[in-house]
């Protein structure tokens, strides 16, 4: 048996939709990799964030929110992506929202139990609770359900107590060789990350329903020493959705493009020329073949 002087392990961050998983991973690794918004199901893919310090490497897996109710092929894909991540990691960080425990959380609990992985339970938005004593019953209840789990109150957004969480994580990682180069931050390509940036701006700009019927595909990605040229296609499911996304005289699409271009330029380190197109692809979110073609491949 080989004896390694390095430590390397994998951690799945799981929870119901819109509980702060992507925000937490971004803060833990110190880099924005997963897109965020206040809308549920913003995260659609497993996204790895790689944290390396000294002889220790932790590979975080940000997952889509585990949920019930959605019957489309996209919903099945999201749940499968999250469930698969639970099977292949060394540790699970289960994120809950401070003093709330919903039916969706109960569904996540079932998945976590079935994985039989070591668990750290993180109670998010702790900074918003003025009377900290109110959290004690929640923490005690979760400790009774998971006697072996550590309970950590924190703020994914403001960073409160995240050092404590990271220390608990690193002490539970196994010895082994690094999975990735120490300078690498993610397993995803720039092409993927730019598509996610566009989708983040889209989700934040549009109403509550339209973002769930849209996806982004990068059709052209060319780098020169001076500039990066990107053509991105935004797919909607119905013709009536196109004018909503484009806006009056193209104002909304222009705003999405401006915000996405600035973030893409910062990510790539070059000026970016970004062109956005909106096309209709009927019922793409409930078509297994269309999902695979658009990058939603079996995780």
58-117 pLDDT per residue, tens: 999 987 766 666 667 777 777 777 777 788 899 999 999 877 788 888 888 998 999 999
Contacts of residue 222, Cβ cutoff 8 Å, sequence gap at least 6: 228, 229, 230
Whole-model pTM? 0.85
Percent of the chain whose predicted confidence (pLDDT) is above 90: 49
Averaged pLDDT for residues 210-238:
91
* 43 pLDDT above the threshold of 80: no
Q: What angle do CA 173, 122, 162 make, to 5 degrees?
A: 70
Give CA–CA dist 92/73, Å, rounded.
26
Question: Beta strand pairing status for 215-223 and 228-236?
Answer: antiparallel
* 1 pLDDT above the threshold of 60: no
Contacts of residue 295, Cβ cutoff 8 Å, sequence gap at least 6: 45, 192, 195, 217
Q: How far is CA 242 from the centre of its chain?
A: 26
- Which CATH class name applies to 7-171? alpha beta
Q: What's the confidence (pLDDT) of residue 3?
A: 62
Number of C-alpha atoms within 13 angstroms, CB side, residue 74? 18
Give CA–CA dist 101/95, Å, rounded.
11
Q: Provide the edge-to-edge strand list for the sheet that holds 47-53.
A: 47-53, 56-62, 7-14, 91-97, 119-124, 150-153
Confidence of residue 295 (pLDDT cuts 50, 70, 90): confident
Percent of the chain whose predicted confidence (pLDDT) is above 70: 88
Give CA–CA dist 2/148, Å, rounded.
29
- Which CATH class name applies to 190-293? alpha beta
Confidence of residue 140 (pLDDT cuts 50, 70, 90): confident
The ranges of the chain annotated as CATH 3.30.300.20 are: 190-293
Structure-token pair, residue 193: 């990350």
Higher pLDDT, 139 or 164: 164
Give CA–CA dist 149/251, Å, rounded.
50
* 164 pLDDT above the threshold of 70: yes
The ranges of the chain annotated as CATH 3.40.50.300 are: 7-171
| Least confident interval from 164-168, 244-248, 258-262 | 244-248
* 185 pLDDT above the threshold of 80: yes
| Closest alpha carbon to 194 in 251, 250, 259, 245 | 259
* 287 pLDDT above the threshold of 80: no
Q: What angle do CA 77, 79, 85 make, to 5 degrees?
A: 100
């Amino acid at each position: 048996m080989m004896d390694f002087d390095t430590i390397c392990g994998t951690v799945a961050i799981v929870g119901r939709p819109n509980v702060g998983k992507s925000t937490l991973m971004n803060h833990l690794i110190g880099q924005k990799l997963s897109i965020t918004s206040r809308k549920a199901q913003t995260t659609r893919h497993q996204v790895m964030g790689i944290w390396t310090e000294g002889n220790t490497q932790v590979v975080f897996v940000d997952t889509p929110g585990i949920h019930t109710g959605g019957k489309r092929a996209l919903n099945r894909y999201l749940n499968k992506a999250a469930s698969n991540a639970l099977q292949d990691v060394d540790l699970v960080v289960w994120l809950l929202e401070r003093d709330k425990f919903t039916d969706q959380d109960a569904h996540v609990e079932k998945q976590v139990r079935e994985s039989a992985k070591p668990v750290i339970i993180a109670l998010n938005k702790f900074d918003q609770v003025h009377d900290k004593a109110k959290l004690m019953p929640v923490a005690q209840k979760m400790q009774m359900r998971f006697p072996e789990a550590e309970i950590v109150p924190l703020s994914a957004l403001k960073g409160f107590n995240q050092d404590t969480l990271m220390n608990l994580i690193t002490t539970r990682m196994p010895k082994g060789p690094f999975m990735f180069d120490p300078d690498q931050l993610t397993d995803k390509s720039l092409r993927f990350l730019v598509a996610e940036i566009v989708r983040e701006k889209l989700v934040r700009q549009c109403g509550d329903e339209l973002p769930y019927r849209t996806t982004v595909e990068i059709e052209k990605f060319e780098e020169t020493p001076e500039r990066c040229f990107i053509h991105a296609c935004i797919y909607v499911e119905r013709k009536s959705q196109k004018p909503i996304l484009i806006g009056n005289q193209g104002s909304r699409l222009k705003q999405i493009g401006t915000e996405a271009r600035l973030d893409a330029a910062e990510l790539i380190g070059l000026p970016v020329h970004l062109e956005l197109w909106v096309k209709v692809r009927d019922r793409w979110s409930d078509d297994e073949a269309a999902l695979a073609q658009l990058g939603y491949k079996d995780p």
